[in-house]
Structure 1
Amino acid sequence: MSQATLPDLPYAYDGLEPYISRQIMELHHKKHHQTYVNALNAAEQAYAKASTPKERIALQAALKFNGGGHINHSLFWKNLAPSAVEKKGHGGELKAGPLKDAIEAKWGSLDVLKKEFNAATAGIQGSGWGWLGLNPSDKSLAIVTTANQDPLLTHIPIIGVDIWEHAFYLQYLNVKVDYLNAIWNVIDFQEAEKRFVEGASAKL
Protein backbone atom coordinates (compact mmCIF):
# COMPACT_ATOMS: atom_id res chain seq x y z
CA MET A 1 0.00 0.00 0.00
CA SER A 2 1.48 3.34 -1.04
CA GLN A 3 1.54 6.01 1.61
CA ALA A 4 0.15 9.51 1.21
CA THR A 5 2.78 12.24 1.12
CA LEU A 6 2.71 15.99 1.60
CA PRO A 7 2.82 17.66 -1.84
CA ASP A 8 5.20 20.53 -2.48
CA LEU A 9 3.70 23.97 -3.00
CA PRO A 10 3.99 25.30 -6.57
CA TYR A 11 5.11 28.70 -5.20
CA ALA A 12 7.08 30.09 -2.25
CA TYR A 13 5.44 30.35 1.18
CA ASP A 14 5.37 34.13 0.80
CA GLY A 15 4.23 33.96 -2.82
CA LEU A 16 0.59 34.72 -2.03
CA GLU A 17 1.24 37.82 0.09
CA PRO A 18 -0.30 40.19 0.94
CA TYR A 19 -3.53 38.20 0.54
CA ILE A 20 -2.37 35.11 2.43
CA SER A 21 0.60 35.58 4.73
CA ARG A 22 3.75 33.46 4.79
CA GLN A 23 3.03 32.59 8.43
CA ILE A 24 -0.37 31.15 7.52
CA MET A 25 0.96 29.25 4.53
CA GLU A 26 3.79 27.64 6.48
CA LEU A 27 1.51 26.64 9.35
CA HIS A 28 -1.27 25.48 7.03
CA HIS A 29 0.99 23.40 4.79
CA LYS A 30 3.73 22.12 7.11
CA LYS A 31 1.58 21.50 10.17
CA HIS A 32 -2.10 21.10 9.32
CA HIS A 33 -1.81 19.29 5.99
CA GLN A 34 1.07 17.16 7.30
CA THR A 35 -1.12 16.13 10.24
CA TYR A 36 -3.84 14.91 7.86
CA VAL A 37 -1.23 12.95 5.88
CA ASN A 38 0.20 11.31 9.00
CA ALA A 39 -3.22 10.43 10.42
CA LEU A 40 -4.44 9.08 7.07
CA ASN A 41 -1.42 6.79 6.76
CA ALA A 42 -1.92 5.56 10.32
CA ALA A 43 -5.62 4.91 9.73
CA GLU A 44 -4.92 3.04 6.48
CA GLN A 45 -2.32 0.87 8.18
CA ALA A 46 -4.74 0.09 11.01
CA TYR A 47 -7.48 -0.71 8.49
CA ALA A 48 -5.19 -3.12 6.65
CA LYS A 49 -4.48 -4.93 9.93
CA ALA A 50 -8.09 -4.94 11.13
CA SER A 51 -9.42 -8.46 11.47
CA THR A 52 -13.11 -7.86 12.09
CA PRO A 53 -15.86 -5.78 10.43
CA LYS A 54 -16.32 -3.92 13.72
CA GLU A 55 -12.68 -2.81 13.72
CA ARG A 56 -12.89 -1.67 10.10
CA ILE A 57 -16.12 0.24 10.69
CA ALA A 58 -14.53 1.99 13.68
CA LEU A 59 -11.84 3.38 11.37
CA GLN A 60 -14.21 4.84 8.77
CA ALA A 61 -14.50 8.26 10.43
CA ALA A 62 -10.70 8.69 10.61
CA LEU A 63 -10.28 7.61 6.98
CA LYS A 64 -12.99 10.01 5.81
CA PHE A 65 -11.78 13.00 7.83
CA ASN A 66 -8.04 12.67 7.20
CA GLY A 67 -8.43 11.37 3.65
CA GLY A 68 -10.70 14.31 2.88
CA GLY A 69 -8.25 16.70 4.50
CA HIS A 70 -5.45 15.38 2.31
CA ILE A 71 -7.52 15.41 -0.90
CA ASN A 72 -8.96 18.88 -0.27
CA HIS A 73 -5.68 20.52 0.64
CA SER A 74 -3.80 18.92 -2.24
CA LEU A 75 -6.33 20.54 -4.56
CA PHE A 76 -6.31 23.81 -2.63
CA TRP A 77 -2.57 24.45 -3.07
CA LYS A 78 -2.83 23.97 -6.84
CA ASN A 79 -5.92 26.17 -6.78
CA LEU A 80 -3.84 29.23 -5.82
CA ALA A 81 -1.21 31.31 -7.62
CA PRO A 82 0.75 34.51 -6.93
CA SER A 83 -1.36 37.55 -7.70
CA ALA A 84 -1.43 39.41 -10.99
CA VAL A 85 -2.39 42.55 -9.02
CA GLU A 86 0.98 42.40 -7.25
CA LYS A 87 2.75 41.63 -10.57
CA LYS A 88 3.92 38.32 -9.13
CA GLY A 89 1.96 35.91 -11.31
CA HIS A 90 -1.45 35.24 -12.87
CA GLY A 91 -3.54 34.70 -9.73
CA GLY A 92 -6.94 36.36 -9.88
CA GLU A 93 -6.96 36.68 -13.68
CA LEU A 94 -9.90 35.07 -15.50
CA LYS A 95 -9.02 35.31 -19.16
CA ALA A 96 -11.30 34.72 -22.13
CA GLY A 97 -11.99 31.04 -22.57
CA PRO A 98 -14.39 28.19 -21.75
CA LEU A 99 -14.48 28.80 -17.99
CA LYS A 100 -15.18 32.51 -18.33
CA ASP A 101 -17.89 31.75 -20.88
CA ALA A 102 -19.53 29.25 -18.54
CA ILE A 103 -19.37 31.60 -15.54
CA GLU A 104 -20.89 34.47 -17.50
CA ALA A 105 -23.59 32.20 -18.93
CA LYS A 106 -24.58 31.09 -15.42
CA TRP A 107 -24.03 34.22 -13.31
CA GLY A 108 -23.67 37.06 -15.81
CA SER A 109 -20.24 38.06 -14.50
CA LEU A 110 -17.38 36.91 -12.31
CA ASP A 111 -18.29 39.57 -9.74
CA VAL A 112 -21.76 38.05 -9.29
CA LEU A 113 -20.24 34.58 -8.89
CA LYS A 114 -17.83 35.91 -6.26
CA LYS A 115 -20.67 37.57 -4.34
CA GLU A 116 -22.85 34.45 -4.32
CA PHE A 117 -19.91 32.13 -3.60
CA ASN A 118 -18.74 34.26 -0.67
CA ALA A 119 -22.24 34.47 0.78
CA ALA A 120 -22.72 30.69 0.62
CA THR A 121 -19.26 29.94 1.98
CA ALA A 122 -19.42 32.52 4.78
CA GLY A 123 -22.69 30.89 5.82
CA ILE A 124 -21.02 27.57 6.67
CA GLN A 125 -21.66 26.77 10.32
CA GLY A 126 -18.30 25.87 11.83
CA SER A 127 -15.61 24.55 9.52
CA GLY A 128 -15.87 23.43 5.92
CA TRP A 129 -15.19 24.22 2.28
CA GLY A 130 -16.75 26.34 -0.43
CA TRP A 131 -16.66 24.96 -3.96
CA LEU A 132 -17.28 25.92 -7.52
CA GLY A 133 -18.20 22.53 -8.89
CA LEU A 134 -19.18 21.03 -12.22
CA ASN A 135 -22.25 18.80 -12.24
CA PRO A 136 -21.08 15.65 -14.04
CA SER A 137 -24.56 14.84 -15.37
CA ASP A 138 -25.54 18.10 -17.07
CA LYS A 139 -22.11 19.83 -17.13
CA SER A 140 -23.45 22.90 -15.32
CA LEU A 141 -21.51 24.95 -12.76
CA ALA A 142 -22.79 25.25 -9.21
CA ILE A 143 -21.75 26.69 -5.86
CA VAL A 144 -21.57 23.89 -3.28
CA THR A 145 -20.39 23.67 0.33
CA THR A 146 -19.14 20.71 2.33
CA ALA A 147 -18.73 20.36 6.08
CA ASN A 148 -15.51 19.67 7.97
CA GLN A 149 -13.03 17.95 5.61
CA ASP A 150 -15.64 16.17 3.51
CA PRO A 151 -14.42 16.01 -0.08
CA LEU A 152 -16.70 17.17 -2.89
CA LEU A 153 -18.24 13.99 -4.29
CA THR A 154 -21.42 15.22 -5.99
CA HIS A 155 -19.57 17.54 -8.38
CA ILE A 156 -16.19 17.79 -10.08
CA PRO A 157 -14.20 20.36 -8.06
CA ILE A 158 -13.19 23.39 -10.14
CA ILE A 159 -12.30 25.83 -7.33
CA GLY A 160 -12.18 25.02 -3.62
CA VAL A 161 -11.76 27.45 -0.72
CA ASP A 162 -10.81 26.33 2.77
CA ILE A 163 -12.96 28.05 5.39
CA TRP A 164 -11.38 26.40 8.43
CA GLU A 165 -10.02 29.00 10.85
CA HIS A 166 -6.45 27.75 10.35
CA ALA A 167 -6.69 29.04 6.76
CA PHE A 168 -7.21 32.67 7.73
CA TYR A 169 -7.45 33.46 11.45
CA LEU A 170 -3.84 34.65 11.99
CA GLN A 171 -4.37 37.33 9.35
CA TYR A 172 -8.09 38.07 9.18
CA LEU A 173 -9.10 37.10 12.72
CA ASN A 174 -12.81 36.27 12.82
CA VAL A 175 -13.74 38.27 9.70
CA LYS A 176 -14.28 35.44 7.22
CA VAL A 177 -15.71 37.81 4.61
CA ASP A 178 -12.43 39.74 4.38
CA TYR A 179 -10.57 36.48 3.78
CA LEU A 180 -13.08 35.39 1.15
CA ASN A 181 -12.84 38.73 -0.65
CA ALA A 182 -9.03 38.62 -0.58
CA ILE A 183 -8.56 35.06 -1.78
CA TRP A 184 -9.99 35.78 -5.23
CA ASN A 185 -6.80 37.75 -5.89
CA VAL A 186 -4.81 34.52 -5.75
CA ILE A 187 -7.24 32.03 -7.33
CA ASP A 188 -5.50 30.22 -10.19
CA PHE A 189 -8.14 30.44 -12.91
CA GLN A 190 -5.79 28.76 -15.37
CA GLU A 191 -5.74 25.64 -13.18
CA ALA A 192 -9.49 25.93 -12.67
CA GLU A 193 -10.07 26.10 -16.42
CA LYS A 194 -8.03 22.92 -16.94
CA ARG A 195 -10.29 21.09 -14.50
CA PHE A 196 -13.37 22.59 -16.10
CA VAL A 197 -12.38 21.55 -19.63
CA GLU A 198 -11.44 18.04 -18.49
CA GLY A 199 -14.68 17.68 -16.55
CA ALA A 200 -16.84 19.08 -19.33
CA SER A 201 -15.34 16.68 -21.88
CA ALA A 202 -15.49 13.61 -19.64
CA LYS A 203 -18.06 10.99 -20.53
CA LEU A 204 -20.46 9.65 -17.95
Structure 2
Amino acid sequence: MAIILPSLPFEKNALEPYISSLTLEYHYGKHHNTYVVNTNNLIKETELDTLSLEEIILLTANDSTKTSLFNNAAQVWNHTFYWNSLKPNGGGLPTGEIAKKIDTDFGSYDNFAKELKESALGQFGSGWAWLVLKNGKLSISKTSNADTPIAHGVKPILCIDVWEHAYYLDYKNARADYADAVIKNLLNWEFANRNLEG
Protein backbone atom coordinates (compact mmCIF):
# COMPACT_ATOMS: atom_id res chain seq x y z
CA MET A 1 0.00 0.00 0.00
CA ALA A 2 1.25 3.47 -0.75
CA ILE A 3 2.30 5.57 2.22
CA ILE A 4 0.42 8.88 2.12
CA LEU A 5 1.06 12.33 3.50
CA PRO A 6 -1.81 12.80 5.96
CA SER A 7 -3.63 16.10 6.12
CA LEU A 8 -2.65 18.41 8.94
CA PRO A 9 -5.21 18.36 11.78
CA PHE A 10 -5.32 22.19 11.65
CA GLU A 11 -4.86 25.01 9.16
CA LYS A 12 -1.27 26.04 8.42
CA ASN A 13 -1.68 29.37 10.23
CA ALA A 14 -3.57 27.90 13.20
CA LEU A 15 -0.54 27.57 15.48
CA GLU A 16 0.58 31.19 15.13
CA PRO A 17 2.20 33.06 16.78
CA TYR A 18 4.00 30.04 18.29
CA ILE A 19 4.68 28.16 15.04
CA SER A 20 4.36 30.16 11.84
CA SER A 21 2.65 29.14 8.64
CA LEU A 22 6.04 29.60 6.95
CA THR A 23 7.56 26.95 9.22
CA LEU A 24 4.68 24.61 8.41
CA GLU A 25 5.10 25.25 4.68
CA TYR A 26 8.63 23.91 4.95
CA HIS A 27 8.30 21.44 7.81
CA TYR A 28 5.11 19.73 6.65
CA GLY A 29 5.06 20.65 2.96
CA LYS A 30 8.73 19.90 2.24
CA HIS A 31 10.35 17.79 5.00
CA HIS A 32 7.43 15.54 5.94
CA ASN A 33 6.41 15.14 2.31
CA THR A 34 9.96 14.20 1.29
CA TYR A 35 10.00 11.39 3.87
CA VAL A 36 6.73 10.10 2.36
CA VAL A 37 8.12 10.22 -1.18
CA ASN A 38 11.38 8.55 -0.13
CA THR A 39 9.58 5.79 1.75
CA ASN A 40 7.37 5.00 -1.24
CA ASN A 41 10.39 4.94 -3.55
CA LEU A 42 12.26 2.58 -1.21
CA ILE A 43 9.39 0.07 -0.86
CA LYS A 44 8.29 0.16 -4.50
CA GLU A 45 8.22 -3.32 -6.04
CA THR A 46 9.58 -4.94 -2.87
CA GLU A 47 7.98 -7.35 -0.40
CA LEU A 48 7.36 -4.34 1.87
CA ASP A 49 5.08 -2.40 -0.47
CA THR A 50 1.90 -4.01 0.91
CA LEU A 51 2.74 -3.34 4.56
CA SER A 52 1.55 -0.58 6.88
CA LEU A 53 3.91 2.16 8.00
CA GLU A 54 4.12 0.64 11.49
CA GLU A 55 4.95 -2.79 10.06
CA ILE A 56 7.70 -1.31 7.88
CA ILE A 57 9.20 0.47 10.91
CA LEU A 58 9.20 -2.68 13.05
CA LEU A 59 10.69 -4.83 10.28
CA THR A 60 13.51 -2.40 9.47
CA ALA A 61 14.36 -1.03 12.95
CA ASN A 62 17.35 -3.30 13.57
CA ASP A 63 18.32 -4.10 9.99
CA SER A 64 21.49 -2.24 9.02
CA THR A 65 20.78 -2.98 5.34
CA LYS A 66 17.52 -1.03 5.56
CA THR A 67 18.61 2.01 7.58
CA SER A 68 17.50 4.48 4.92
CA LEU A 69 14.03 2.95 4.76
CA PHE A 70 13.73 2.91 8.55
CA ASN A 71 14.81 6.55 8.79
CA ASN A 72 12.30 7.74 6.21
CA ALA A 73 9.40 5.58 7.37
CA ALA A 74 9.95 6.44 11.03
CA GLN A 75 10.12 10.14 10.16
CA VAL A 76 6.77 9.88 8.38
CA TRP A 77 5.30 8.28 11.50
CA ASN A 78 7.01 10.65 13.97
CA HIS A 79 5.88 13.75 12.10
CA THR A 80 2.28 12.58 11.85
CA PHE A 81 2.33 11.91 15.60
CA TYR A 82 3.87 15.34 16.24
CA TRP A 83 1.19 17.21 14.30
CA ASN A 84 -1.45 15.43 16.36
CA SER A 85 0.43 16.28 19.57
CA LEU A 86 -0.26 19.96 18.81
CA LYS A 87 -3.46 21.96 18.70
CA PRO A 88 -4.42 25.61 18.48
CA ASN A 89 -5.15 26.99 21.96
CA GLY A 90 -3.63 23.90 23.51
CA GLY A 91 -1.08 23.55 26.26
CA GLY A 92 -1.68 24.63 29.80
CA LEU A 93 -2.84 22.25 32.49
CA PRO A 94 -3.93 18.81 31.32
CA THR A 95 -7.44 17.50 31.84
CA GLY A 96 -8.99 14.06 32.18
CA GLU A 97 -7.09 10.85 32.91
CA ILE A 98 -3.77 12.22 31.66
CA ALA A 99 -3.92 14.92 34.37
CA LYS A 100 -4.33 12.30 37.10
CA LYS A 101 -1.60 10.11 35.63
CA ILE A 102 0.83 13.04 35.37
CA ASP A 103 0.22 13.92 39.03
CA THR A 104 0.73 10.29 40.05
CA ASP A 105 3.81 9.57 37.95
CA PHE A 106 5.60 12.96 38.03
CA GLY A 107 4.32 14.37 41.31
CA SER A 108 2.94 17.47 39.59
CA TYR A 109 2.33 19.09 36.22
CA ASP A 110 5.27 21.44 36.90
CA ASN A 111 7.62 18.49 37.33
CA PHE A 112 6.33 16.98 34.08
CA ALA A 113 6.75 20.25 32.15
CA LYS A 114 10.27 20.72 33.54
CA GLU A 115 11.33 17.19 32.57
CA LEU A 116 9.83 17.45 29.08
CA LYS A 117 11.61 20.74 28.44
CA GLU A 118 14.90 19.36 29.79
CA SER A 119 14.55 16.36 27.47
CA ALA A 120 13.91 18.64 24.48
CA LEU A 121 16.98 20.71 25.34
CA GLY A 122 19.11 17.73 26.29
CA GLN A 123 18.69 15.96 22.96
CA PHE A 124 22.02 16.62 21.27
CA GLY A 125 21.52 17.41 17.59
CA SER A 126 18.37 16.30 15.84
CA GLY A 127 15.68 14.22 17.48
CA TRP A 128 12.53 14.07 19.56
CA ALA A 129 11.32 14.54 23.14
CA TRP A 130 8.53 12.15 24.16
CA LEU A 131 5.97 11.59 26.86
CA VAL A 132 5.64 7.79 26.87
CA LEU A 133 3.84 5.05 28.75
CA LYS A 134 6.14 2.20 29.72
CA ASN A 135 5.19 -0.65 32.05
CA GLY A 136 2.06 1.27 33.03
CA LYS A 137 3.94 4.41 34.06
CA LEU A 138 4.39 7.75 32.29
CA SER A 139 7.94 8.91 31.72
CA ILE A 140 9.93 11.28 29.53
CA SER A 141 12.35 10.02 26.93
CA LYS A 142 14.24 11.30 23.93
CA THR A 143 15.29 9.74 20.66
CA SER A 144 17.93 10.74 18.13
CA ASN A 145 17.32 11.44 14.47
CA ALA A 146 14.46 9.23 13.21
CA ASP A 147 14.32 6.81 16.13
CA THR A 148 10.85 6.31 17.57
CA PRO A 149 9.41 4.69 20.72
CA ILE A 150 7.28 2.25 18.70
CA ALA A 151 10.48 0.60 17.42
CA HIS A 152 11.23 -0.32 21.06
CA GLY A 153 7.79 -1.49 22.15
CA VAL A 154 7.12 1.74 24.07
CA LYS A 155 3.80 3.59 23.76
CA PRO A 156 4.11 7.29 22.85
CA ILE A 157 1.59 9.72 24.35
CA LEU A 158 2.86 13.14 23.08
CA CYS A 159 6.03 14.43 21.43
CA ILE A 160 7.99 17.54 20.55
CA ASP A 161 10.07 17.60 17.37
CA VAL A 162 13.48 19.13 18.14
CA TRP A 163 15.02 18.88 14.69
CA GLU A 164 16.13 22.40 13.73
CA HIS A 165 13.65 22.53 10.85
CA ALA A 166 10.85 22.40 13.45
CA TYR A 167 11.74 25.76 14.96
CA TYR A 168 14.66 27.55 13.30
CA LEU A 169 12.65 29.91 11.08
CA ASP A 170 10.67 31.11 14.10
CA TYR A 171 13.13 30.83 16.98
CA LYS A 172 16.59 30.68 15.35
CA ASN A 173 18.80 28.79 17.84
CA ALA A 174 16.52 29.36 20.85
CA ARG A 175 15.27 25.79 21.23
CA ALA A 176 14.29 26.54 24.84
CA ASP A 177 11.83 29.24 23.74
CA TYR A 178 10.31 26.87 21.19
CA ALA A 179 9.95 24.08 23.77
CA ASP A 180 8.33 26.51 26.21
CA ALA A 181 5.91 27.72 23.56
CA VAL A 182 4.84 24.19 22.64
CA ILE A 183 4.42 23.03 26.25
CA LYS A 184 2.57 26.13 27.41
CA ASN A 185 0.43 26.82 24.34
CA LEU A 186 0.16 23.89 21.93
CA LEU A 187 0.17 20.45 23.59
CA ASN A 188 -2.95 18.49 22.66
CA TRP A 189 -4.27 16.94 25.87
CA GLU A 190 -7.24 15.35 24.10
CA PHE A 191 -4.79 13.42 21.88
CA ALA A 192 -2.80 12.43 24.98
CA ASN A 193 -5.96 11.10 26.65
CA ARG A 194 -6.87 9.07 23.56
CA ASN A 195 -3.38 7.55 23.48
CA LEU A 196 -3.55 6.76 27.18
CA GLU A 197 -6.86 4.92 26.68
CA GLY A 198 -5.91 3.14 23.45
In 1, Cα distance between equivalents of 2:67 and 2:191: 31
Q: Percent identity?
A: 36
Partner residue in 2 for 1:176: 175
1:197 paired with 2:197, answer: yes
Distance 1:46 1:139 in 2: 40
**Alpha-carbon distance change, 115 to 93 in structure 1, aligned in 2, over 3 angstroms:** closer
The equivalent residue for 1:54 is none
Cα deviation code 1:10-51 (max 9, x no counterpart): 1110100111111101111110000000000111116449xx
Match of 1:145 among 112, 127, 142: 142
Match of residue 85 from structure 2: 79
Task: Return 148-157 or 166-175, whichever deviates more.
Answer: 148-157
More displaced 10-residue stretch of structure 1: 172-181 or 57-66: 57-66
Output the TM-score relative to the length of structure 2. Answer: 0.86
How many residue pairs get aligned? The number is 181
**Which amino acid in 2 is paired with 1:151?**
T
Alpha-carbon separation, structure 2, partners of 1:196 and 1:132? 11
Aligned residue type for 1:197: E
- The CA RMSD measured in Å over matched residues stands at 1.6
Give TM-score, length-normalised by structure 1.
0.84
Deviation at 1:96, TM superposition (A): 3.5
CA distance in 1, matches of 2:99, 2:196: 10
Equivalences for residues 31-50 of structure 1 within 5 A? 31-45=30-44, 47-48=46-47
Structure 2 distance, partners of 1:96, 1:62, is 39
C-alpha distance in 2, partners of 1:127/1:119? 15
Given that 1:94 and 1:190 are in contact with CA atoms closer than 8 Å, whether structure 2 keeps it comes out as no
Shift of 1:117: 1.1
Distance 1:192 1:58 in 2: 33
Q: What does the per-residue CA deviation read over 1:91-145, in whole Å, with 9 as the maximum and x for residues that have no partner? A: 114444211001011222212111111112211111000000001xx21001011
Task: State the match for 1:87 in structure 2.
Answer: none
Give the residue type in structure 2 aligned to 1:114: A
Contact 1:118–1:180 (CA<8 Å) still a contact in 2?
Answer: yes
DSSP 3-state at the match of 2:123? coil
For structure 2, list consecutive stretches of 5 or more residues without a partner in the other structure.
49-62
